[in-house]
Amino acid sequence: MDPARQHIIDRLEQSIGLNIETVSSSTFERAIRHRMEALGVDDMAGYARLLAASGPELDRLIEEVVIPETWFFRHQEPFDILVDQVRTAKAQARPLPFRILSLPCSTGEEPYSAVMALLLAGIPPVHFEVTGVDISKRALEIADRGIYGDNSFRSRDLTFRDVFFRRTDNGYLLEEQVRSLVRFCRGNIVDTTFTASLGVFNVIFCRNILIYLSRDAQEKVLANLFHLLVPGGTLFTGHAEANLFLNTPFTRSPDTGSFAFLRPASEKPSLVGFPGQQDDDRTPAPAAALKGWPGPARKPIPEPGPDTATEPGGSDDDTFAQVMHLADSGRLAEAAAHCQIHMARTGDPSARWYYLLGVIRDSQGRTGEAVSLLRKALYLDPQHEESLVLLALLAEQSGDHDRARHYRRRARRILEQG
Ligand SMILES: C[S@@+](CC[C@H](N)C(=O)[O-])C[C@H]1O[C@@H](n2cnc3c(N)ncnc32)[C@H](O)[C@@H]1O
């Protein structure tokens, strides 16, 4: 490879942990060309030298390669668990405010969803604090402005939009009260000095970033996240990212979703894994006065079907949401049984059912089965991005880097096509 190009790739990897294989070559070429034109530099070696010497230029290049894809209430389950946890903290007279971190938060939909879920549940703002962090200045500016287009509203239930947004000529404007309850800051998840400066949190949303990082960066980030959590705290990850947390000091809890991991409340001295940081006695911010706590006002989560594997009722969408909910709640065997029954009944299940069963099998440690289910999903729908991302991760973990690269490129191409 051209040494200048390699230098640019190394700089991105070292600074933000980016695995260049998750960036399609056309995006990468476009990004560099764009930056070279903007600077009036006409050879790549010149640009690589400039990049080596300039922090601001690195920031501009980062803006060109990151993927800010996100939407409000991207999977409902973590937000329901969050509400339950804040209520439990209050009921057990644990220190409040409850501290919540969204890292990366992209354009703000995730931390704002946390705030809206808590407000909808009748939890007063003095009982929680939400922080959103992202590397992208551009994304944070959008978060700050709080105006969103249709793409940010992809969840099935859009009741929250009627409650908290006002329609304007430029899009949906999020009301000031919600905006004022998230503190945004720019930062790098790979940078341990930065993450240590944030304090500790009861709940962390860290979804849909690990899949874009190199193996070294993933390891560093897992350690950073571990130290960002209070002992007993919960971390939510992306569906395709859950298996990166297996065989680490994080544990799965039967009380939280299957894409939620805990920092154990008490760590045995023999625990191997992340290097110690002197944070174990750090606690969240001091308790606030617990006044005016209104009773629960949360909307009930649609209950999945009975405990036995009879199929949940409703349309295909409803059934899918219910089975996904079961899987998210950690009831993996039950969810798998529902998937199989549904797939057998339909006779012609769509790709998303194979994907869902694949995710469940992966969570159960049945990797071989997961891979063949995900391949079936792709056979039915070659554009099924989630299957591609998970297949890439599984291929990477089995040491098949070429195959991982192939899946990543395909996934990236789909994302770029929008
Ligand atoms: C796909 S979005 C995920 C947003 C949200 N968590 C979600 O799941 O909807 C990925 C975000 O990661 C951010 N990012 C990439 N590398 C980062 C890093 N090293 N530190 C912090 N943020 C980073 C990008 O700017 C982008 O906004």
pLDDT tens-digit map of 59-107: 999 999 999 999 999 999 999 999 999 999 999 999 899 999 999 999 9
Q: What CA–CA distance (Å, rounded) separates 68 from 46?
A: 29
**Phi, psi for residue 105 in degrees, rounded to 5:** -100, -10
Q: Look at residues 80, 186, 83, 74 and name the one whose alpha carbon lies nearest to residue 131.
A: 186
Q: What is the pTM of this model?
A: 0.79
Contacting residues for 65 by C-beta, under 8 A, at least 6 apart: 12, 18, 23, 27, 28, 31
Q: Are both 77-262 and 316-417 of the same fold? A: no
Q: Where are the beta strands (DSSP E) in 294-364?
A: none
220 Cβ below 6 A of ligand 1 = no
Least confident of 110-124, 130-144, 233-247, 269-283: 269-283
74 Cβ below 6 A of ligand 1 = yes
Cis upstream peptide for 104 (omega within 30°): yes
pLDDT in tens, 284-337: 433 222 222 222 232 332 333 434 455 566 788 888 888 888 888 778 888 888
CA of 106 to the centre of ligand 1 (A): 5
**Strand bridging mode 147-148 / 171-174:** antiparallel
Residue 418 burial class via C-beta count within 10 angstroms: exposed 0-12, middle 13-18, buried 19 and up: exposed
Q: Kindly state the greatest CA–CA separation across the chain.
A: 66
Q: What CA–CA distance (Å, rounded) separates 49 from 62?
A: 16
pLDDT in tens, 150-175: 999 999 999 999 999 999 999 999 99
Predicted confidence at residue 275, as pLDDT, reads 58
Predicted confidence at residue 295, as pLDDT, reads 25
69 Cβ below 6 A of ligand 1 = yes
15 Cβ below 6 A of ligand 1 = no
Domain range annotation of the chain: 3-65, 77-262, 316-417
Ligand 1 atom index nearest CA of 213: 16
Contact 256, 266 (CB under 8 A): no
Ligand 1 atom index nearest CA of 70: 9
Q: What CA–CA distance (Å, rounded) separates 393 from 387?
A: 10
Torsion sign (Cα): 63, 149, 145, 109:
negative
**Phi, psi for residue 363 in degrees, rounded to 5:** -65, -25
Which of 58, 79, 101, 106 maximizes ligand 1 atoms within 8 Å of its Cβ, making it the mutation to test the pocket? 106
Q: What CA–CA distance (Å, rounded) separates 19 from 23?
A: 8
Q: What CA–CA distance (Å, rounded) separates 182 from 175?
A: 12
Structure token digits, residue 105: 């938060």
- CATH of segment(s) 316-417: 1.25.40.10
pLDDT in tens, 252-278: 887 777 799 999 987 654 444 675 654
**CATH for 77-262, options being 3.30.360.10, 3.40.50.150, 1.20.120.1200, 3.40.50.720:** 3.40.50.150
75 Cβ below 6 A of ligand 1 = no
pLDDT in tens, 113-137: 999 999 999 999 999 999 999 999 9
